[in-house]
Every structure is written in C-alpha cells, then in structure tokens.
Structure 1
C-alpha cells in the first residue's frame, strides 16, 4: 500500500480514537502516505500527528455540487480506504477514493447490502451495548493485513504547545483539571455537583483548573463554577487549542470529567483520569488508557460497575439496573435528562478523586 485514506466523518472524540488505527497502519506500511478525511472542525486532534500526511475536511452537508466536487478530487487516488464510520456517505467516499476498501457496518441496517458490495473486508459494529471497545473495533479494519490481536493500541494526542504566559504563571503544583461542560444535556453531570466537587478539592488544598470550549454555554458554566472555591484556588484555563490543552493536562495531578472528547485526550496524556459516566457504555466508550509499553493484561472495561479501573483510567457509574442503557438519556434524545447522572453524588466523586491523588503521590 502506497497511499491510504482513513475516513472518519464523526465527532472530535471519534477522530482521536481513530489514531490507534492510523498508528497501526503506519507500522504495517511505513512508507505509505496516510491521509484522513473528516468533517470541518473535527480534525484538530490530528494536528502535528506524525503518522498523518494530510487532513482533508468536508462540510457536514455537501449538497449535489459539493459532493460532485469531492468525488472528482478523490477519484481513485488511494490504494486503500479504511472507513471507520458506519454512515452511508463515509462508505461512498471510500468507494470513490480507493481501489481497496475495508469498512465498519452496523449489525442491521437497510443499506448494508450495497455497502457490503463495496468492501473487501467488513467489520460489524458491536453497537452501543456491545462488548468491544471502539478502539479495538477500528483496529479490526486492518485484520486482513496484520495480526491486530497482539497489538497494544496507542491513542496519539497532539504534540504539546506552550501555555499562555498568564495561565502558566497562575498554575500551582499538583493542580487538578476539571472539565464540566458536556455537548449534550443527557451527558451533563449537574453543575451543582461540579460545584460541590470543586469546593471539596479546594478544601483539601488543591487548585482546580477549569476547561471548556468557546461556546456561550461552556463559558457561562465555567464562569459560574469559579465561585465554588476561594479566590485563586479555582481558575479558568481560558480558550486553549488541543496542543496547549495537552500541556495543561500533562502537568496536572488528576483530570476529572464526563463522557467527552477531553476525557479521551486526558487519558491519552497518561495522567490519572476520573470519568463520570451515565447512559454511555464504558465497555465501548471509556477513555482508553495510555501506557507506553503493553500492559501485562489486556485492557478490559465492563458494562456496569460502580467503580472500575483500567490502567490510569477510573470510571464511575450509578448502580441502578438500567445503567448503561446505551441511549441518549431517559427520553432517548440529545436534550433528554439522564436520571443516573445526578445519582452519582459529588461526595462520592470527591472521595474517589482525593484517594487517586493520594495513590498517585505514593
């Protein structure tokens, strides 16, 4: 293979979790040119990635003219397309772009019949309640060309970049990074719970650094949480790019956050991570631990456990029988509530965080 296109038309976290596939392809074909195609605004996690030659962005909505232009630009340019998404458009792009194709399909879908006809190798997605982590599922795209069972998947973060001088000057040794915002309400741990967590960490003498995106909702939530701790013990990291965020995370003693892309990035940085999960299945979506050398035992998360740990990552869940439901909250839509998240009390999270800080120091 001299040229490979990886198609990942998903969100930012999905792009980051595709880097083990990209790294494995680079190991299999060291001289190949590897490009990645994804939606505009989602490929920032690949900035500076040594395994990627070029990032190709496309709008989420192409239209007829845009689709035709993209098809002409990509036509038969690659030897192999690795389609790391189940969507129809992703598979059409793979068919247009490459002579050989491997792709992921859902277990049941009305369009599977024609997608299978376009692929030389098919990986069936385990689904939201499946037992296969998405990192391992994506790696299976390479199974015709290499034995992926013995690989130690490595999520590759962007290279670090210098923090703003004003932020660097305010950071205290042993600070804890807390990411409170979630893109969707059904993944949002209550803001008042975050406030109690921050107060507990500050009472234990820890500085808390709050991160969030540029949206008005993120900025408003971060600003509201600053009052949970005495002046200087809770600070707003401001707007950082992913490389600066890597520097902030790498210098911290602990990261705490929900099911979000920043939690995956923190795990890739190798620091202790405490992830708060609601309806999402950690067997599929838990932050993938970083580790350098292969662990003595394969990384495994279970579907439900009040507390579980793999490597540097600890996941907390509610103990009710419906967890995880694998749905978009109790009402199964993006603006839904998730009753399992408020039930994870801040005292429990604070206690676990302080224990992890003590274990890390020891």
Structure 2
C-alpha cells in the first residue's frame, strides 16, 4: 500500500498530524507513507520512523520566494509525487495547492474532510469524503478521523511524535550552560505577537521560579523581535539561560524533554512539549483551546476571556497586546504552576 498525506499549514499543524501517520503505520506496517508539507516544516518530521519520504513545497507568502524559484520547487515536487500510483492520498489542509497535488498524484482513492470545506466543483477531484464535524474538537481528531473514516480502521489516536533519540542531551545542556539541577522552559513568544503576554508579568513569573531554586531557559524562534523579547526577560537574572533561537526543532524537543515543566503561549513549542511528555502550563487568549490545547500530556490552561473566538470575528488591533491576553494575571500562572507541579510530583 502507498499513502500520500498533504498538509500545507504551519509547523505546529505538521506535528499535530503525527498521530494520524503513526496509526496508518500501525494499520499497514509495510506501507509506503509519503508526506508533503510547507518548506520550513520538514524539520519537525526529521527522523520520524513512520514516514518514508517528506516532500516540501515553497511557502506561499510574498517575499519568501521568487516566482522562478516557486515554479522550480513546485515542478520538483510534482515530479516526486505524480504517477507514483498511490493507493490513497489525503488533503488534510483543504488548500487549493494541496488539492492540485492530490489531483496530480493520480492516487486511486483521494480523500478530504468536506465538513465546512465548501468544495464546490473541487469535490470532483476526490473519490472519498469524511463528514467528521471537527469544529469543537481538537485538530488531532480532525486529521485522524478524516483518515479513519475513509480507511475504516479501528485504532485511536496516540500522542504527538517527534524524534529526539539522535540528539546528545548532555552536549545540548552544556551548550546552553545548564547545570545539573531541575530547570523550567519558558517560551514567551510566537510568530504572531498577538498571542503573547505582558513582559513585566513574565518577569514576575521568572522571579518566583528563581526563588524556588529552579534554573530557567527561555526559548524562542530565530526572529529578531522574539530574541529581543527573550533578552529583555532575562535581564538581571543570574540563573536564566537563553537559546536565542539557535536550536533546531529536535534540539528544542530535547531541551523541553529534560525540563521539569514547560510554560508558554500557544505555539509549536507547546506542542513539542506535549510530544515529549513534559507537563505544560499554556496561556490562551484568541486561540481556540478546544482545537489547540496540549495533546495527551498533563497540562493547565490559563485562559484570557475572548468572546471573539467563539464567533471567529476578531475586532481587536493585532499589532499590540490583546485585551484577552492582558486580562491574564500573574497569580493565575503561578497557581497553575503550583497545581501542576503538585499533580505531576504525586503521580
């Protein structure tokens, strides 16, 4: 059997697809499983034993690539998947480019979730449909049940999966000058700044944890704005280390895997924490926690009141701290940390 899964979203969405991939591998141990993701997302799947090939397609954002480069990469991808005689191909992102890839794969059976998809004439590109109503369910279940309904297997989704075995944990700790005592990872930034929290309140959290004897490592992406935020948070603290965005996704996984706790906003680092089974305290404002909460790991959510996310009609200025994130109090984070620490220590 040959399978093709296409998901052209972001890094976190790519990681969220891994329980579905693993279930296919369990149901069809000898299958070939190929995956297509956006360029830049492939690192989260590196070393995943459930996948045979990861193909990438150029990012669609303007300024990320030139037209000739985009055409060259698209043609290279299509030459990789076309006429491979896949038995099944699934569009898990409901995007036009994904549909084109699915169509040109000429797979025998081509599947998509049509609930809320507004396919129109594009439905004729597919042979199989899932009607799983995912609106109030986790995104893991959206992917998983779309495939499950079409393949008709009896498995249930397991944890998120990231391969960290090949990374030297000791060398990584030494690289960031982590001493041999419990440490906590804080990931305060996101590529979308409207998901972030007040810097002064993060410093209150760091001060509290430092006084408890914990070492802290602040992780972030490579964007200069995120690095600047992390450096501002660390000022004046002797036991705070910074990655400055200089880790691969798998290295980030190892740092989080060896931490006592992860605290952060809704971003890929939070999902990596779930994948490596590190307890999570997550701050959610405009994000839909029912869709994006940490999957199959002990966690606490601290929610900022956001009526907009129910209707999906956001009216706030996203260039600055959103009222829902501003409404989260430091005391709520500290209470969540204490409760989760107690729960995971007892168990």
CA pair 14-125 structure 1, distance change in 2 beyond 3 A: farther
Q: 1:121 to 1:192 in 2, by over 3 A?
A: farther
| CA RMSD between the two structures | 2.3
The match for 2:64 is none
Residue 343 of structure 1 corresponds to 327
In structure 2, the CA distance between the partners of 1:250 and 1:55, relative to structure 1 (3 Å rule), is same
Equivalent residue for 1:196? Answer: 204
Q: State whether structure 2 residue 109 is matched by structure 1 residue 100.
A: yes
Contact 1:177–1:208 (Cα < 8 Å) also in 2: yes
Whether the 8 Å CA contact 1:135–1:153 is kept in 2: the answer is no
Structure 1 contact 176–209 (Cα < 8 Å) conserved: yes
2:226 — aligned with what? Answer: 218
- CA–CA distance in 2 between the matches of 1:84 and 1:108? 11
Is 1:361 the counterpart of 2:345? The answer is yes
| Matched residue SS, 1:249 | helix
CA distance in 2, matches of 1:81, 1:335: 39
My pick for the range that moved more, 115-124 or 206-215, is 115-124
**Corresponding residue number in structure 2 for 1:175:** 183
The structure 2 residue matched to 1:316, chosen from 286, 296, 302, is 302
**Segment of structure 1 superposing worse, 259-268 or 113-122:** 113-122
* Structure-1 residue corresponding to 2:81: 74
2:256 matches 1:249: yes
Equivalent residue for 1:303? none
Instruction: Indicate which of 137, 146, 152 corresponds to 2:152.
Output: 146
- Distance in structure 1 (CA, Å) of the matches to 2:306 and 2:251: 40
* Residue 192 of structure 1, CA deviation: 1.9
What's 2:139 paired with? 134
2-side partners of 1:124 and 1:193: how far apart?
43
Per-residue CA deviations over 1:116-141 (Å, capped at 9, x if unaligned) read 212222235757xx212110110112
**TM-aligned CA distance change 1:321 to 1:60, over 3 Å:** closer
Question: Cα gap change, 1:187/1:105 in structure 2, threshold over 3 Å: closer, same or farther?
Answer: farther
Which runs of no fewer than 5 residues in structure 1 stay unpaired? 291-311
Distance change >3 Å, CA 278–CA 126, structure 1 → 2: farther
1:87 aligned to 91, 95, 116, which one? 95
Q: Deviations over 1:284-328 (max 9, x none)?
A: 1112124xxxxxxxxxxxxxxxxxxxxx1221112x461644648
Change (3 A) 1:259 1:327: farther
- Mean Cα deviation higher: 215-224 or 136-145: 136-145
Contact 2:282 2:299 in 1 (8 A): yes
Any conservation in 2 of the 1:186–1:338 contact (CA below 8 Å)? yes
Aligned: 1:42 with 2:41 = yes
Partner of 1:297: none
Q: Distance in 2 between matches of 1:200 and 1:346?
A: 10
Secondary structure of 2:3 counterpart: strand
Q: Which TM-score applies when normalising by structure 1?
A: 0.84
> What TM-score, normalized by structure 2, do the two folds share?
0.87
- Report which stretch shifted further, 65-74 or 346-355: 65-74
Asked if the contact 1:278–1:323 (Cα under 8 Å) also holds between the matched residues in 2, the reply is no
The C-alpha deviation readout for 1:5-58, integer Å capped at 9, x for no partner, is: 110111000000000111011112111111111111111110100001111111
Q: What do the CA deviations read for 1:162-221 (whole angstroms, capped 9, x no partner)?
A: 243633652342211100111112211222221111111112222111101111112111
1:302 counterpart residue number? none
- Give the Cα–Cα distance (whole angstroms) in 1 for the partners of residues 39 and 326 of structure 2: 34
| Residue number in structure 2 paired with 1:272 | 279
Q: How do 1:46-65 residues align onto structure 2 when only pairs under 5 Å count?
A: 46-61=45-60
